[in-house]
Chain A
């Protein structure tokens, strides 16, 4: 073998780089999504299992329905009427008041970057450093 030493060294260095993500993070699982559910509302527009799998399709439907045909009321599985609105119904001060404790948890975990919030306005959140639970009354 010509230049055997160089090749083997190169292969070893290559292997080290390729496997870097495996051994560097071994034994340390990424933090699991920790979703905080809303305090005020106990029931989502559809059952939890449905929402978990199909919330994107539901939101897409809502979007098309509201924007293009002006049908803005949605009747949920239990007969409750909802205003079809991401920023006034779902992620609003009355329901999922904190986007970072709900949407972002799973989306960051799975590396999904939806562009909803490029335009839509999420409820205001205090910076995370402040322990605000004690301060607020």
Chain B
């Protein structure tokens, strides 16, 4: 018996599916960017397409510090007023965080909190006096499950896939403040007033306290966006550790103390932070909320 029409169509259909399966599976296995790259052999995608796919136009600089998951360990007992002040000052200076006295308008990336507010579940009235009064440095926890990222309607705030840093894209922020409501640590500040007023149209002068001009290497912000600590992403790209950690470690060295702030890779079992986490009992802020904070406290 020969091949009748019905059988022929069946065979033809199945062979077509089989032939198409491999390229389709290949394309699905990669993300569109990788697939395009492979298809087009490198850098031949027209710019419009590149933009559409958010194709990175470059590469990570060679000197950049990289990690799977950046974390910070804060040794609260080693921090005194002077060290805390220096850390906050250097952070706010290099990131052009305006100095606004009114607590309703205040912008802060790293600040000094009372123990009872920083670790509310760990507080009781007979706690060590020194700890009660010690400056307790708090900052964005760069959570593994950041609530702020989940609620952001424009994806202006996002978690960087390769190292877990939670960042703000000021170009996308619409100032809805959902992230501020979502963040259980109060790590985010909204620009209620123009943070860097200009003196004249088009001319430069923008001033912080004491008529100090902004750091020309870092952008400022406008009224109507939310900002927070960025774990010094711009410094990591240049191969430097975060400014607060650097300043703090210098000061601690001068005073002959153990480094009060330590920064490193949680996924690297030999990193300094992992050694500290092994040798000390550490606490995190509000871990019960399940955001999995990445700032650890030794108290």
Chain A interface (Cβ within 8 Å of chain B)?
54, 57-58, 60-65, 67-75, 83-84, 87-88, 100, 104, 118-125, 127
Q: A69 vs B56: C-alpha distance in the bound complex, in angstroms?
A: 7
Q: Is B279 an interface residue (CB 8 A)?
A: no
**Is the pair B216, A87 in contact by a Cβ cutoff of 8 Å?**
yes
Partner of A123, one of B171, B216, B221: B216
Q: A124 vs B203: C-alpha distance in the bound complex, in angstroms?
A: 8
Known: A68-B158, A118-B222. A61 touches B202 (CB 8 A): no
Q: Known pairs A118-B222, A122-B204; list 6 more (Cβ under 8 Å).
A: A61-B47, A61-B55, A67-B169, A71-B56, A71-B59, A125-B204
Contacts of B58 in A (CB 8 A): 62, 65, 71-75, 84
**Is the pair A68, B54 in contact by a Cβ cutoff of 8 Å?**
yes
Q: Is B206 an interface residue (CB 8 A)?
A: yes
**Is the pair A100, B216 in contact by a Cβ cutoff of 8 Å?**
no
Partner of A65, one of B57, B62, B167, B202: B57
Partner of B160, one of A63, A70, A121: A70
Instruction: Tell me the interface secondary structure of chain B in the complex.
Output: loop
**Is the pair B50, A61 in contact by a Cβ cutoff of 8 Å?**
yes
**Is the pair B171, A67 in contact by a Cβ cutoff of 8 Å?**
yes
Partner of B202, one of A60, A75, A104, A120: A104
In the complex, the number of residue pairs spanning A and B with C-beta atoms less than 8 Å apart equals 89
**Is the pair A63, B171 in contact by a Cβ cutoff of 8 Å?**
yes
Contacts of B59 in A (CB 8 A): 71, 73, 75
The 14 listed contacts between A and B (C-beta, < 8 Å) are A58-B47, A61-B47, A61-B50, A61-B55, A65-B58, A69-B56, A69-B160, A70-B160, A70-B237, A71-B60, A75-B58, A119-B221, A123-B216, A124-B213
Q: Is B61 an interface residue (CB 8 A)?
A: yes
**Is the pair A127, B219 in contact by a Cβ cutoff of 8 Å?**
no
**Is the pair A120, B51 in contact by a Cβ cutoff of 8 Å?**
no
State the Cβ distance, A80 to closest chain B Cβ, in Å.
Answer: 12
**Is the pair B220, A62 in contact by a Cβ cutoff of 8 Å?**
no
Q: Is B233 an interface residue (CB 8 A)?
A: yes
**Is the pair A73, B202 in contact by a Cβ cutoff of 8 Å?**
no
Nearest chain-B residue to A117 (Cβ)? Answer: B202
Q: A88 vs B217: C-alpha distance in the bound complex, in angstroms?
A: 6
State the Cβ distance, A25 to closest chain B Cβ, in Å.
Answer: 24
Q: A122 vs B198: C-alpha distance in the bound complex, in angstroms?
A: 12
Q: A131 vs B206: C-alpha distance in the bound complex, in angstroms?
A: 24
- Would you list which residues of chain B between 39 and 90 have a CB under 8 Å from chain A? 47-48, 50-51, 54-62, 64
State the Cβ distance, A83 to closest chain B Cβ, in Å.
Answer: 8
**Is the pair A72, B219 in contact by a Cβ cutoff of 8 Å?**
no
Q: Is B211 an interface residue (CB 8 A)?
A: no
- Would you list which residues of chain B between 267 and 283 have a CB under 8 Å from chain A? none
**Is the pair B203, A119 in contact by a Cβ cutoff of 8 Å?**
no
**Is the pair B219, A61 in contact by a Cβ cutoff of 8 Å?**
no
Contacts of B214 in A (CB 8 A): 121
**Is the pair A72, B167 in contact by a Cβ cutoff of 8 Å?**
no
Nearest chain-B residue to A75 (Cβ)? Answer: B58
Nearest chain-B residue to A64 (Cβ)? Answer: B54
Known: A70-B160, A70-B237, A87-B216. A119 touches B54 (CB 8 A): no
Residue from A57, A71, A122, A124 with most neighbouring chain B CB atoms (10 Å):
A71
